[in-house]
Amino acid sequence: MLRVEKISHTFKSGGELTPVLHDINFQVKQGEMVALLGSSGSGKSTMLNLMAGLMKPTEGHIYIADQDIVKMSENKLAVFRRKNIGFIFQAYELIASLTVRENVELPLVFQSVSASARKKQSLALLEAVGIPDKAEQFPSQLSGGQQQRVSIARSLITEPSIIFADEPTGNLDTKTEDEIINILVDLNKNMKTTFIIVTHEHEVAQHMQRIFTLRDGYMVTEKEDPRSEN
């Protein structure tokens, strides 16, 4: 499903070079849910943004569904991302002037899906994330946990084969964090969507099937199925 091969990345700004990732290699199977764990500055977001095709690495290859996204032209990549990749942000990134339902439907507006079909799908997903009653409200009327539920529903509406989440519970209290992680684990089980979750919290990572740990830009451990140990 996802294959990362010899990825290295160095940021260049104003003649200054910042090496951030060094020879990263790993694979994730279809339907797996994995954590990318590491402390602040270890390179997690950089790795995630590369895998989601939001930027190009200095070196290496990233295959999603057997296609090397590093080699893709920007136009082809834009189409590929819209079809295959979902993203969940730490700060939700909802559009304040749109209702909850309109936010969830937004990715479909750019595809030729009828308004009635969009509504049906978005309401089903809002049900799946536990807030069917919030559909006609605006993001500002929702709690942080509820806003993240909306953003999860939005990431799923195009039925992507893989979803990347960057610290999806980073802005939430512990109780809400548990609820959001449980929703993601259930969605992974029920919809077979592949999830890559960036976190700096061991507690969050323990809920995933596998854990990849980044330390100063090096991948240092690859823990196999922590759930099977309990």
Ligand X SMILES: Nc1ncnc2c1ncn2[C@@H]1O[C@H](COP(=O)(O)OP(=O)(O)OP(=O)(O)O)[C@@H](O)[C@H]1O
> What is the contact surface with ligand X in residues (CB under 6 A)?
11, 13, 18, 20, 38, 40-46, 200
Q: Which is nearer to ligand X, 55 or 117 (CB)?
A: 55
Q: Tell me the window of 42-50, 75-83, 107-115, 177-185 that interacts with Mg ion (CB under 5 A).
A: 42-50
Q: Are 57 and 6 in contact (CB under 8 A)?
A: no
Q: Hey, what are 82's tokens?
A: 């819209």
**Per rule CB under 5 A, is residue 45 in the interface with Mg ion?**
yes
Q: In 3-state terms, what secondary structure has residue 74?
A: helix
Q: Least Å distance between CB 229 and Mg ion?
A: 27
Q: Least Å distance between CB 221 and ligand X?
A: 15
Specify the pairing of strand 218-224 against strand 210-215: antiparallel
Q: Which is nearer to Mg ion, 45 or 188 (CB)?
A: 45
Q: Which does 11 bind (CB under 5 to 8 A by kind): Mg ion, ligand X, none?
A: ligand X
Q: Which is nearer to ligand X, 9 or 154 (CB)?
A: 9
Q: Least Å distance between CB 226 and ligand X?
A: 20
Which distant-in-sequence residues (6+ apart) come within 8 Å of 64 by Cβ? 1, 2, 51, 80, 84, 85, 161, 162
Give residue 86's identity as a one-letter amino acid code. G
- Give the count of beta carbons closer than 10 Å to the beta carbon of residue 184: 25
